[in-house]
Chain A
């Protein structure tokens, strides 16, 4: 099962490597990993998505808590949370297809961030389902490049 872990860490050299090394060293898999500073100076938030059964996730959470630079670990999976990911998609856009691509972009509330003679780059933000859907739709035009941030997530205030 997919789990989203929110991991608060000290912002110090090597912390990403400590966390990532923990996953690789113990044979766990990271699906996506996103890191950025928080409002509090010296503290960063990592959002990690990973797959595993209950026992594996329990180990991952406990092992993360054991890392000296890790302040807090929350498994958002069982909580109500908001999840978002941003993706940039560069898609083939010959004249005949352009209108349709823009229509899809409109339906998915994407932004067009770059256009050339035969390509359009779209910015999409959404949860995993939405991103999967638009990728499916755009694939038939030919996706030339694709970059995604990995999930970021926060628990909802009302639980």
Chain B
């Protein structure tokens, strides 16, 4: 039987197990929308295409499945670019379908035409323009395969309108093989042995976990390995949740806003085991003083990440799960060592740093501190919520003062730092996890970037909670202005914020205002229990800063503390 291009697309999505897609219709994709009701796929209509991509991204991060979105040509397609770049920087598996003008019009500056394949080339893992209906099914199969294998990433498929209307016989390929694409999943055994020998000799080992641990489902093995061999663990922002945040070996995040014990441990470690992390500048600070005493073992599925920023002693190109399992086996074959005893003095030293400089903030009479709000959210949720964040101070407080016990419980734009990410991502996560509490930690600046998606949350009865740490500023930039630009608060004061409570109510959602410490717990508890989406506007200390802070370009040990 012959199917139209639109039917082939939806049938293929069904075969890929896609149940939820996020999108926004337009002229170029009407044929697809016309067919959606005939397929077991729930479409979520967003209010802006950027919301669709971030929602698909939040869906992907919280489940590990490929997130899918569908938008029209031209402006619909260009509106996705920020979301695509966000997913690309954080290696999130996603397939983006964009409508395109009919093939005879391509290149003619037709209405709503844009070269989206050209525009997104630098920020997708791969992309396609389908010019032949015979290639449509195969292309979709490839897109899902490429997005979800190796180092995951977004793949864009551009679909001209006439291809969606054309008809052909349908056959979905069972398997796929791409000559030029063969990700390496298995570690080199010799390298693993070398790494293990190094670990066995180490007196001050440290594990530095990144997002790769989460995307390769390696959290459990990592945790087992660290506990069994008494190795303290730190993580990047993307790695939070890879190791339980309430474990005694947990040091907290490292880097620019990392904890004192984490940064000191990096500086003093003799073997640094980096797993699925890429030595980002926000993590390393001044590169040539990063981990100066350590031999570095670097596990990453992407060879380009290895030796890009720092020199590495033992590179292991592999999926993190396979590499850690291989390491675990090799470590088991070593003669019995009392690891606890071997690392005893190192663990004590690390503990001493933690005791001397824990994460802290100064309480002030009559003022709500954002860190206090995060602590309360952790207490109320017992660490069992899915937290998404916007970007800036709110994001860093969410990283520091909430403890993530499991992978995929923190959704945050790490690499690109996309303001406006958190709320639509939370919507995507709530679609995937209808029974879980999903909370977007926001700033008053960033929430205004995609607040229109409250209509989406309301339409589909998605009870996402937004907690705005409202300080009346673009807080992180203001903090930099205060510390490094002589308090020249140019364009960072948000003079005219909307009344967020009324704004929530305007959408039919619930709005709450918190201005006093004693209201924090009861109001948050009430909001979290509500079946509706809520905005909780918490008026916090306007000029509170995120500490510790390593100034850009300084060494990790040069921390500004509270």
A is bound by B:
yes
Which residues in A have some Cβ–Cβ distance to B below 8 Å? 9-10, 13-14, 17-18, 21, 25, 55, 58-59, 62-63, 65-66, 68-71
- CB pair B304–A21 under 8 Å, yes or no, is no
B502: A residues at CB distance < 8 A:
none
Task: Evaluate whether A59 and B308 lie within 8 angstroms (CB atoms) in the complex, with A14-B118, A65-B303 already known.
Answer: yes
Task: Evaluate whether A62 and B146 lie within 8 angstroms (CB atoms) in the complex, with A21-B122, A71-B180 already known.
Answer: no
Which residues in B have some Cβ–Cβ distance to A below 8 Å? 117-118, 121-122, 125-126, 129, 146, 178-181, 302-304, 307-308
- CB pair A68–B178 under 8 Å, yes or no, is yes
CB nearest to A60 among chain B residues: B304
Q: B304's contact among A13, A25, A63, A70, by CB below 8 Å, is which? A: A63
B178: A residues at CB distance < 8 A:
68
Bound Cα distance A18, B180 (Å): 14
Q: Chain A's nearest CB lies how many Å from the CB of B378?
A: 39
Bound Cα distance A70, B182 (Å): 11
Bound Cα distance A35, B316 (Å): 33
Bound Cα distance A70, B178 (Å): 11
Q: Chain A's nearest CB lies how many Å from the CB of B84?
A: 15
Task: Evaluate whether A13 and B129 lie within 8 angstroms (CB atoms) in the complex, with A68-B178, A69-B180 already known.
Answer: yes
Bound Cα distance A78, B302 (Å): 24
Task: Evaluate whether A62 and B304 lie within 8 angstroms (CB atoms) in the complex, with A68-B180, A69-B180, A71-B180 already known.
Answer: yes
B117: A residues at CB distance < 8 A:
14
Bound Cα distance A14, B106 (Å): 15
Question: 27 A-B contacts, Cβ less than 8 Å apart?
Answer: A9-B180, A10-B180, A13-B129, A14-B117, A14-B118, A17-B118, A17-B121, A21-B121, A21-B122, A25-B122, A55-B307, A58-B307, A59-B307, A59-B308, A62-B303, A62-B304, A63-B304, A65-B303, A66-B302, A66-B303, A66-B304, A68-B125, A68-B146, A68-B180, A68-B181, A69-B126, A69-B180
A70: B residues at CB distance < 8 A:
180
B179: A residues at CB distance < 8 A:
10, 71
B304: A residues at CB distance < 8 A:
59, 62-63, 66
3 residue pairs, one from A and one from B, having the closest CB atoms: A68-B126, A62-B304, A71-B180
Task: Evaluate whether A18 and B121 lie within 8 angstroms (CB atoms) in the complex, with A68-B178, A71-B180 already known.
Answer: yes
Q: Chain A's nearest CB lies how many Å from the CB of B95?
A: 14
Q: Chain B's nearest CB lies how many Å from the CB of A1?
A: 17
CB nearest to B129 among chain A residues: A13
Bound Cα distance A62, B184 (Å): 13
A69: B residues at CB distance < 8 A:
126, 180
Bound Cα distance A17, B118 (Å): 8
Bound Cα distance A69, B304 (Å): 16
Given pairs A9-B180, A10-B179, A58-B307, 16 additional interface contacts (CB within 8 A): A14-B117, A14-B118, A14-B129, A17-B121, A18-B121, A59-B307, A62-B303, A62-B304, A63-B304, A65-B303, A66-B302, A66-B303, A68-B125, A68-B126, A68-B178, A69-B180
Q: Chain B's nearest CB lies how many Å from the CB of A33?
A: 17
Bound Cα distance A4, B179 (Å): 24
B302: A residues at CB distance < 8 A:
66
Q: Chain A's nearest CB lies how many Å from the CB of B103?
A: 12
Bound Cα distance A59, B306 (Å): 9
Q: Chain A's nearest CB lies how many Å from the CB of B520?
A: 45
CB nearest to B317 among chain A residues: A62
Bound Cα distance A68, B308 (Å): 20
Bound Cα distance A69, B126 (Å): 9
A62: B residues at CB distance < 8 A:
303-304
A17: B residues at CB distance < 8 A:
118, 121
CB nearest to B308 among chain A residues: A59
- CB pair A14–B303 under 8 Å, yes or no, is no
- CB pair B181–A14 under 8 Å, yes or no, is no
Bound Cα distance A65, B129 (Å): 22
Bound Cα distance A132, B347 (Å): 63
Bound Cα distance A14, B156 (Å): 14
Bound Cα distance A58, B180 (Å): 19
Bound Cα distance A78, B118 (Å): 34
B118: A residues at CB distance < 8 A:
14, 17
A63: B residues at CB distance < 8 A:
304
A68: B residues at CB distance < 8 A:
125-126, 146, 178, 180-181
Q: Chain B's nearest CB lies how many Å from the CB of A43?
A: 9
A55: B residues at CB distance < 8 A:
307
Bound Cα distance A63, B307 (Å): 12
Bound Cα distance A159, B484 (Å): 57
Residue from the set B118, B125, B179, B180 with the largest chain A CB neighbour count within 10 Å: B180
Bound Cα distance A45, B394 (Å): 50
CB nearest to B306 among chain A residues: A62
A25: B residues at CB distance < 8 A:
122
CB nearest to A9 among chain B residues: B180
Bound Cα distance A154, B311 (Å): 32
A59: B residues at CB distance < 8 A:
304, 307-308
